[in-house]
Amino acid sequence: MVSECCWLTAGGTATSVDNARTYVNNLIQTVKIGSPRRPLRPIEVLRHILGMFDENQKSPEVEKFFGMFLPNQQAKYGVKFN
């Protein structure tokens, strides 16, 4: 079971919008097809993406950049659910 996953888009090592997009899209595909131990069985997910929106008033600084959307609700990157 997965409870929380995310990738920062800024503020840390190896953080970028491209890396976050790749991570989230790969996570979605993995959840749909199962794990190597249980292929073709979707993974149970409680809450798999840590934040929908960046939180520009959060601290420390690195905590601000977990979202897929900016605080003004503009998407930072596309997500493929199919």
Greatest alpha-carbon span in the chain: 41
Beta bridge partners of 75: 69
Q: How far apart are the C-alpha atoms of 28 and 37, rounded to whole Å?
A: 17
DSSP character for 69? E
* Residues identified as active-site: 4, 55, 58, 63
> Which residue(s) pair with 34 in the sheet?
39
